[in-house]
Amino acid sequence: MPPDDRKPRRFPLQLDQVASPRAGGGRTPIGSTPAPRVSREVLRPQAPLHLAERDRQRYTAPQGLGLDSAHVRMRMVQRLQAEGINHAGVLQAFATVPRHLFVDTALVNQAYEDTSLPIGLGQTISKPSVVAAMIQLLCVRPGLIQSDVPGVPGSTKPLGNCLEIGTGCGYQAALLGHLARRVVSIERLRDLHHKARSNLDQLRAVVPTSPDVRLVYGDGMIGHAPSAPYDTIIAAAGGAALPQAWLDQLAPGGRLVAPTQDERGGQVLVIVDRLADGRFQHTRAGAVLFVPLKSGTT
Ligand code: SAH
């Protein structure tokens, strides 16, 4: 059993604590927002490389199952469900996108474990449980007009126009594609940007119905104004503060989920809802540790 399975569960977050706009609204300084569920233990979606390497050696390959088998993937989906991921669209996306296509050949036997894995250039693919929890938070944004009910037009695309910062290997972008009308994903490392493009091409060869994702090579700290405003914004890297561009590019009714630094120098997951009148509501959702958000491109 992976060691993380024995840790106390932190997700899903108590959505009643994060979903309803504060009475009176208003933009709340992040530092003054009470944390609804700040866990004492830091959630590490992207382990440092030496830990990812340790995990690589520790986890055993699923026995007797083809690595590209939908069966192995379904076991991951069942684990996510057991952890409280209950949004049908999110579970469906995880059941559809083959994670093993996004990791190096030498690591495919760990692809369906709940662990981060190295993807090159000092970066890692995030843990499925953290990715699922963040995407689910976006899917249940209070500003979603059409409820996610079968038969309601648009209900299968709860992420609307979605911006991802930190494409990495492209796995999360592929998941978002199943839940969004459009996904724009930005990566600052040129080689990873190209790797994600080739991974997504490979995905379309295997799963021809995979939605298209727009990949942008650039500095995600400035967002991507040409496709703004976004109904949902998700960041896979955390900086000292939320870039103003992200807030400016968030549509009314939209939600942003991103790691950011807290006043003690740690990292917390922050949820920002832009209310219908344009004001912002910030909520904290627990301690995390993502790779750093860096400016510029390489
Ligand atoms: N979502 C990714 C996780 C990648 S890790 C996946 O599924 O694999 C986070 C990524 O954020 C890294 O690739 C890192 O290069 C990128 N990143 C960090 N700062 C960035 C910035 N300012 N703009 C765009 N990408 C950035």
pLDDT, one tens digit per residue, over 132-159 is 999 999 999 998 875 545 555 556 799 9
pLDDT over threshold 90, residue 19: no
- For the chain, the domain total comes to 1
State residue 34's pLDDT score: 39
Q: Which residue has the higher pLDDT, 62 or 49?
A: 49
Q: Which residue has the higher pLDDT, 253 or 3?
A: 253
- Residue 169 CA: nearest ligand 1 atom is 8
Q: What is the dihedral angle through the alpha carbons of 13, 44, 237, 215, rounded to the nearest 10 degrees?
A: -90
Q: Is ligand 1 within 6 A of the CB of residue 171?
A: yes
- Residue 126 CA: nearest ligand 1 atom is 3
Confidence class for position 54, pLDDT limits 50, 70, 90: low
Q: Is ligand 1 within 6 A of the CB of residue 238?
A: no
pLDDT, mean of residues 278-297? 95
One-letter identity of residue 27: R
In a domain, 121, yes or no: no
Q: Is ligand 1 within 6 A of the CB of residue 125?
A: yes
In a domain, 84, yes or no: no
The Å distance, Cα 277 to ligand 1 centre, comes to 31
Q: Buried (b) or exposed (e) across 218-254, using 16+ Cβ within 10 A?
A: ebbbbbbeebbbbbbbbbbbbbeebbebbbebbbebb
Q: Is ligand 1 within 6 A of the CB of residue 183?
A: no
In a domain, 156, yes or no: yes
Return left, alpha or beta for 22; rule: phi > 0 is left, psi -120 to 50 is alpha, else beta: beta
**Residue among 255, 252, 246, 256 at smallest CA distance from 276:** 252
Q: Is ligand 1 within 6 A of the CB of residue 118?
A: no
Least confident span in 9-23, 123-137, 229-243: 9-23
State residue 55's pLDDT score: 57
Q: Which residue has the higher pLDDT, 164 or 14?
A: 164
Q: Which residue has the higher pLDDT, 45 or 212?
A: 212
Q: By CB neighbour count within 10 A (0-12 exposed, 13-18 middle, 19+ buried), where does 21 fall?
A: middle
Q: Is ligand 1 within 6 A of the CB of residue 224?
A: no
In a domain, 41, yes or no: no
Tally of CB atoms within 10 A around 62: 18
The Å distance, Cα 242 to ligand 1 centre, comes to 15
Q: Is ligand 1 within 6 A of the CB of residue 221?
A: yes
Confidence class for position 105, pLDDT limits 50, 70, 90: confident
- Local structure of 293: helix, strand or coil: coil
State residue 41's pLDDT score: 59
The Å distance, Cα 11 to ligand 1 centre, comes to 22
pLDDT over threshold 90, residue 230: yes
The Å distance, Cα 9 to ligand 1 centre, comes to 25
- The Cα 235–Cα 45 span in angstroms is 12
User: For all residues of the chain together, what is the average pLDDT?
Assistant: 83
In a domain, 67, yes or no: no
In a domain, 46, yes or no: no
Confidence class for position 70, pLDDT limits 50, 70, 90: confident
Which range marks the domain in which residue 219 is found? Answer: 130-292
**Residue among 142, 107, 103, 127 at smallest CA distance from 47:** 127
Q: Domain holding 238: CATH number?
A: 3.40.50.150
pLDDT over threshold 70, residue 26: no
How does pLDDT run across 154-205, given as a tens digit for each residue?
Answer: 567 999 999 999 999 999 999 999 999 999 999 999 999 999 999 999 999 9
In a domain, 20, yes or no: no
- The Cα 252–Cα 129 span in angstroms is 28
State residue 11's pLDDT score: 47
Q: Probe ligand 1: pick from 46, 185, 294, max atoms within 8 Å of CB? A: 294
End-to-end CA distance of the chain: 38
How does pLDDT run across 257-276, given as a tens digit for each residue?
Answer: 999 999 999 999 999 999 99
In a domain, 164, yes or no: yes
- Residue 102 CA: nearest ligand 1 atom is 8
